Amino acid sequence: MAFLEPEPGKLRPLTTGGPAADRVADDRATGTPKALREDLVRLLGPHKVLHTVSDLVKYASDASPYRFVPQVVVIAESVEDVAAVLRYAHEHRREIVFRAAGTSLNGQAQGRDILVDVRRHWTGVEVLGDGTHTRIRPGTTVGRANIVLSRHGRLMGPDPASSSACTVGGVVANNASGMTAGVTRNSYRLLSSLTLVLPSGTVVDTAAPGADEALHRAEPELCRRLLALKAEIEADSALVARIRAKYELKNTSGYRLDAFLDGSTAVEILRGLMVASQGTLGFVAETVFRTVSLDRMTHTALLFFPDLPAAAAAVPLFNAAGARAVELMDGNTLRACASVDGVPADWADLPRETAALLVEFRAPDERAREAHRQAAADVLAKLTLVVPVASVTNHFVEDPATIRTYWHAREAFMTAVGKARPAGSTLITEDFAVPPSRLAEACEALAELQERHGFDAAVAGHAAHGNLHFLLAFDAARPDEVRRYAAFMDEFCAMVVHRFDGSLKAEHATGRNMTPFLELEWGPRATELMWRVKQTLDPAGVLAPGVVLNRDPAAHLLGLKSIPTIEAVADPCIECGFCEPVCPSRDLTTTPRQRIVLRREMMRQPSGSPVMDSLLGSYSYDAVDTCAGDSSCRTACPVGIDTGAMMKRFRHQRHSVREERYAARVAERFSLAESSLRTALGVADHLNDRFLGGVTSAVRKAVSPDLVPEWLPSVPSPASPRLPPTDRTTAAAVYYVACVNRIFAGPDGVEGPSLPEAVVEVSHRAGRPVWIPPDMSGSCCATIWHSKGYDAGNEIMANRIVERAWEWTDGGRLPLVVDASSCTLGIGREVKPYLTPENLHKHQALTVVDSIVWAAEELLPGLEVTERLESAVIHPTCSMRHLGDVEQLRAVAEFVARDVSEPVYADCCGFAGDRGLLHKELTEAATAHEAAEVTAGTFDAHLSANRTCEIGMEHVTGRPYHSALLALERATRPVGTTPRPGTTDTAA
């Protein structure tokens, strides 16, 4: 045991809601059965097989109301891995479910046996030709794909609200569409080709020359049966007419029977069948899409109506006028969205009857946009709108920030309503489609049905396509509540089919919730054909049984998950998974959603159960230690859940009194700690990296791996203890040199002044001189203590920096410029909860400015480039995203370099102050994709705005990252001169 080892047992819940009926049973405490684990390890290797009970529980939940704990989780890295697991499943009569993002809403990403993760190693986008086509691997999120395509003026057609998190493979598997796709821009229409792995293990590239002949050789019986089904369907004219009519609406119920009408060969039929098959017919390993025009010019309005029928009546008018998107939100949705960042708080006061339409026109050029302006104005003149609160404008705008707010509110629909649900209730999300002309009637019928069954649901949807979404909350742990939900579903499905001849699943795919009602919608003839499709492609029933087809009339009521109450900061989570793509530890240990899922399982367990003990044993490292604490999850979560804050609370909870006392003592004597660290770095310059690694490893074992860093070769030399002299009397701002820049020098290989010297010089050069206070030593932004959960040390440092900043800035008269973005965030925001009332009052008077913002807004106007770089790549830090100044980093970079690149996967580096030194594997995992992008290119400069992040990026790329202000100083340096060392501080 290390001297200051955290105590995981302190994370044990004081009280639980268990034992819950759906808890993981005691006999699962050891995880995967030994024989299954050993088989798969022999087949794939140990690093591809996850088997602890913690591994299994964290994969047991997705964005749906269902929960099934798998027997084992396989991390597939290649098509060969997938084929091998499929062959194993056939030989041993096992079942397989594929899981990518886990954002599906009806349990498609859950299984009871072998769960195969096909997200982690399946990313990549290749733009083909002039961008009209793109090759995308299935683990790539739609959002990442669109970032790449947007550089070519193109986009994917499908645009679900979960685009930032959902993967392309999942979009194809569900035929998810979204706001503008309708029935013409979805995966079925735009998927040019795909590579798939059949349940037998056969790999098919539908675009390969001779693909059909190769399939006939490999799978002759499958081809024969597919072509026989095609002939049978085409011979039934009534069935053909029914199939064509069903797909005039958005429809993802069952298998795409129109694939038999649209495909002339077995391979073409397969291509169509794989869309919306939800992983039950094969695995989509690669896709090639036809792309659509980006149409950058938008004309957008959020219009408020007195009620739903009035809003619905306006939809066909905007459709006829050429609107690209017409999105409906009812009063419950609008009021719930008041909790979303950026949405006006007075939405919470909107009348219940109010409804809104989010209408957007998109154009490729100004001429087309002007036509849209006129068309929109003509429609507006015919409408009767309401202005129920002060924030409502009811007119079209073209300001990008306003438009982003509108769309952010719409896309947050599910999570915002989920946050408002009663504590402990399970959320059901359903979607259906009716003919657009009957949208108002469907809204009224749905409202009446909900009221009759005691539900107060929220309704939103893609009104242009007659597609409505609604959410219901009920307690899945109570049998009477489940019966109430079942009765509602019976009536709802009958209403959609018999009254509207609509689609029971418009874009979320059949899933577990709608399988019992598939025959109600399609009739026995078509449903029997779907069973034959499944038998043809997957005769052994290996893939996702029960997800699309199920003969159990109560299948939708099995596996409903309870939602135990946990810590308040995370309790509103509905497990949607929007947080996962930005989490630094997503490919190492756990994601924010999984941290919450594991905590909820602890709450289901009785105190002292073997499952509880096993979960606690893993949680300390998997959840708490390897959380970067950067709170990127909060920015990605539509309702701002900060799982990082919960992990920092858990770190504090694990601390002993001795640890807290030790951390407080370091804070009190931080000036000594600073000088000691510089001395240690100076000594390290003369020692071997291997030797230093051994020494730090031994000390970590003796003291604590969560307190003592390990040695990285990229750790820089010590900074000079002397800061450049400055003049207070002429200063336009106070310059706070962050402790990381007082301790660490810049990277090797980047010649020139230190960062403090560069900031002083370039500010003087721009006519905005700065002053460095002489008593800076021993001060800190408190982030080190805050991140580790050391409350006493945090309070000492937080109050010290505010007191000094108050004095330095003359009571807030001058701005405080901070040269590390994490420290800007720390001083500007994160210290506030730890301040005394007096210091909180002082803090309110301070203007804390990040050095990048200072440069972009105050210095660039007074500077002239004398030596421009050809290229630069930037790394926006997570702190910059919290502060909202990524654009300023880009502005500075574009000022000094002709070509500026921002990697598609530029997310938090996971270094998180010193966490990358404590757990270097976190940074290595967090930056793997970004590092691959950076090392694949050649750049004159690698720019960021936070020294520790720069150290982390240098560690993973081998490239010398440094502050953009160093590049700014060099680029604007007068020809033939060297940097000024500063002036004498006459006022100090």
End-of-domain residue from the set 458, 486, 508 = 508
The answer on 274 and 136 residing in a single domain is yes
The answer on 210 and 170 residing in a single domain is yes
Which class for 631: exposed (0-12), middle (13-18), buried (19 or more C-beta within 10 A)?
buried
Please determine, for residue 987, whether its predicted confidence score (pLDDT) is greater than 70.
no
The answer on 329 and 288 residing in a single domain is no
450-478 mean pLDDT: 92
Helix ranges, 176-305 (H): 187-190, 211-218, 220-234, 237-246, 259-262, 266-274
Q: Is residue 73 situated within a structural domain?
A: no
Q: Are the CB atoms for 431 and 505 separated by under 8 Å?
A: yes
Tens digits of residue pLDDT in 244-288: 999 999 999 999 999 999 999 999 999 999 999 999 999 999 999
pLDDT value at residue 873: 98
pLDDT band of 988, cuts 50, 70, 90: very low
pLDDT value at residue 692: 59
pLDDT value at residue 416: 86
Number of folded domains that form the chain: 4
Q: Interior CA angle at 369 toward 330 and 461, to 5°? A: 20
CATH code at position 189:
3.30.465.10
Tens digits of residue pLDDT in 756-796: 999 999 999 999 999 999 999 999 999 988 898 999 999 99
CATH code at position 925:
3.40.50
Q: Is residue 60 situated within a structural domain?
A: no
Tens digits of residue pLDDT in 925-936: 999 999 999 999
pLDDT value at residue 702: 63
pLDDT value at residue 717: 86
Q: Interior CA angle at 562 toward 619 and 115, to 5°? A: 60
pLDDT value at residue 658: 84
* Residue in the structure block whose two tokens are 């990549």: 124
pLDDT value at residue 457: 80
The answer on 375 and 443 residing in a single domain is yes
pLDDT value at residue 985: 37
End-of-domain residue from the set 817, 848, 879 = 848
Q: Are the CB atoms for 485 and 472 separated by under 8 Å?
A: yes
The answer on 234 and 328 residing in a single domain is no
Give the chain's largest Cα–Cα span.
96
CA atoms of 463 and 708, how far apart (whole Å): 57
For 67, phi and psi rounded to 5 degrees? -155, 115
Q: Is residue 356 situated within a structural domain?
A: yes
Please determine, for residue 693, whether its predicted confidence score (pLDDT) is greater than 50.
yes
> What amino acid occupies position 406?
Y
Please determine, for residue 18, whether its predicted confidence score (pLDDT) is greater than 80.
no
Q: Is residue 903 situated within a structural domain?
A: yes
Please determine, for residue 13, whether its predicted confidence score (pLDDT) is greater than 70.
yes
Please determine, for residue 838, whether its predicted confidence score (pLDDT) is greater than 50.
yes
The answer on 905 and 825 residing in a single domain is no
Task: Tell me which residue range forms the domain holding 828.
Answer: 664-706+719-848
pLDDT band of 681, cuts 50, 70, 90: confident
The answer on 142 and 262 residing in a single domain is yes
pLDDT value at residue 852: 98
Beta bridge partners of 193: 288
DSSP-derived letter for residue 620 is I
Please determine, for residue 239, whether its predicted confidence score (pLDDT) is greater than 80.
yes
586-599 mean pLDDT: 98
CA atoms of 968 and 88, how far apart (whole Å): 58
Which class for 21: exposed (0-12), middle (13-18), buried (19 or more C-beta within 10 A)?
exposed
Tens digits of residue pLDDT in 944-981: 999 999 999 999 999 999 999 999 999 999 987 766 55
Segment among 575-589, 660-674, 759-773, 866-880 with least mean pLDDT: 660-674
End-of-domain residue from the set 848, 872, 905 = 848
CA atoms of 747 and 243, how far apart (whole Å): 64
CA atoms of 649 and 789, how far apart (whole Å): 6
pLDDT value at residue 662: 86
How far CA 965 is from CA of 57, 82, 131, in Å, comes to 46, 48, 35
The answer on 815 and 696 residing in a single domain is yes
Tens digits of residue pLDDT in 786-830: 898 999 999 999 999 999 999 999 999 999 999 999 999 999 999
* Residue in the structure block whose two tokens are 């395509």: 149
The answer on 462 and 433 residing in a single domain is yes
Please determine, for residue 413, whether its predicted confidence score (pLDDT) is greater than 90.
no
633-649 mean pLDDT: 93
* Residue in the structure block whose two tokens are 């049973």: 25
Q: Are the CB atoms for 27 and 70 separated by under 8 Å?
A: no
Cα of first residue to Cα of last residue in the chain, in angstroms, is 49
* Residue in the structure block whose two tokens are 């019976």: 490
pLDDT band of 750, cuts 50, 70, 90: confident
Please determine, for residue 507, whether its predicted confidence score (pLDDT) is greater than 90.
yes
CA atoms of 572 and 471, how far apart (whole Å): 15
The answer on 773 and 725 residing in a single domain is yes
CA atoms of 406 and 246, how far apart (whole Å): 32
Helices 947-957 and 928-935: angle between axes, nearest 10 degrees: 70
pLDDT value at residue 980: 55
| Type and span of the H or E element at 946 | none
How far CA 179 is from CA of 190, 460, 466, 873, in Å, comes to 16, 11, 11, 33
19-37 mean pLDDT: 96
Radius of gyration of the chain (CA): 29
Tens digits of residue pLDDT in 291-324: 999 999 999 999 999 998 899 999 999 999 999 9
pLDDT value at residue 695: 62
Percent of the chain with pLDDT over 70: 96
The answer on 683 and 796 residing in a single domain is yes
pLDDT value at residue 982: 46
The answer on 249 and 352 residing in a single domain is no
pLDDT band of 456, cuts 50, 70, 90: confident
Q: Count how many Cα atoms sit within 13 Å of the Cα of residue 228 in the half-sphere of its side chain.
A: 10
pLDDT value at residue 537: 98
Q: Is residue 345 situated within a structural domain?
A: yes
342-363 mean pLDDT: 93
Please determine, for residue 715, whether its predicted confidence score (pLDDT) is greater than 90.
no
Please determine, for residue 4, whether its predicted confidence score (pLDDT) is greater than 60.
no
> What amino acid occupies position 295?
D
Q: Is residue 456 situated within a structural domain?
A: yes
3-state class percentages of the chain: helix first, strand second, coil last, to nearest 5: 45, 15, 40
Mean of per-residue pLDDT scores for the chain: 93
pLDDT value at residue 704: 64
CATH code at position 334:
3.40.462.40
